[in-house]
Structure 1
């Protein structure tokens, strides 16, 4: 399960950095960065604020969709985590298709934000025992605290998972930056492949 958490952290860092570069400053994996960018627009207006505003409801839509999916799959006794990975992969593939078809930043970015909303959603619903995979601020804070406590002799069993997640996210950021030369269309495909690979492994 810890390996799955690190893989999701890699995907989050990869997709967020890829989107930030290819979509001219849009954060697709978390909301905080877009709030900051919207605040910047108040004093330095630009032409891309609409996408950042619409990214929030798209992100929420991804959470709503995965919540309904998880509820339905759990009632049926199915593998909700596998279905969640497939939903995210489908949204991300649709985003890639928009990028390849030249459909514009709006469609590409909103579908990608919905995909990352889904990851945030099932992370809370199904992987709550793992560190967050998409936002590293809390993880880095906890990692430092746990490392200091471990140095003092305290048991901190989550230390390895925290460290792996932070490192995987950082590696994903580098990968996403390198993939940005391909644009969102081709650049998203490795992340889609990773999600499909995780869906093929029995979740819980």
Structure 2
């Protein structure tokens, strides 16, 4: 979908960058756990179960929180109709604001919970017929499509689309770098920046009707 639509591609990249920003802040705040990358938390869960079962609770809660965010975002998306994107991003923004307030009040657990819910919900932004078409908080699928696109390009196909997936991955990486930089230098302000970022994305989202 984003391969042949430049505006949607830029929009998706901006959202992936926001996800990278938030995940970087969350990673540094949650002692090496992720708020959007559940494959990483699943690996940490497996390691904990295999070596120190008492450490398994945190990744379990993070994974369940992410699923809850996806579920809540999907339910909202279904009810929002053609305003699916701004509705979902509005929810994400409210959760980011809640995380910002929790950090200001030194409520780390509440902050992490709000971030996990927000990142789960974010993945409902791009849907078609009830299926996610662009994952915004995880890049394994994008990298697989990038590699397959490169193979097609090397095989002589001109429109392989690999650059679109490379752009999405680069967006998440750039956001993660910025998030880490600001978490180190502006810890009380970085989530407010993410909240403002989310609010801006809500405004932009009104330009893009639901896909189906």
Shorter-chain TM-score: what band? Answer: 0.7 to 0.9
Structure-1 separation of matches of 2:37 and 2:143 = 16
TM-score by length of 2: 0.83
Deviation, 1:190, is 2.0
Residue 85 (structure 1) aligns with? 89
CA distance in 2, matches of 1:169, 1:29: 11
Alignment partner of 1:163 is 2:170: no
Identify the structure with bigger relative contact order (alpha carbons < 8 Å, sequence gap 6+): 1
Asked whether the equivalents of residues 85 and 199 of structure 1 are also in contact (C-alpha less than 8 Å), the reply is yes
- Report the counterpart of residue 147 of structure 2 in structure 1: 144
SS at match of 1:10: helix
What is aligned with 2:41?
A: 34
Cα deviations by residue, 1:138-177 (Å, 9 ceiling, x for unpaired): 2112212212311322143532321110111111121121
Contact 1:10 1:171 in 2 (8 A): yes
Match of 1:99, SS state, is helix
Structure 2, unmatched stretches of 5+, are: 1-7
Partner Cα distance (1:133, 1:174) in 2 = 16
Alignment of 1:71-150 (within 5 A): 71-74=78-81, 78-104=82-108, 106-124=109-127, 131-150=134-153
**Change in CA separation of 1:91 and 1:47 when aligned onto 2, cut-off 3 Å:** farther
Shift of 1:132: 2.3
> How much is the aligned-residue C-alpha RMSD, in angstroms?
2.3
* 8 Å contact from structure 1 (residues 96, 108) kept in 2: yes
SS at 1:122's partner residue? coil
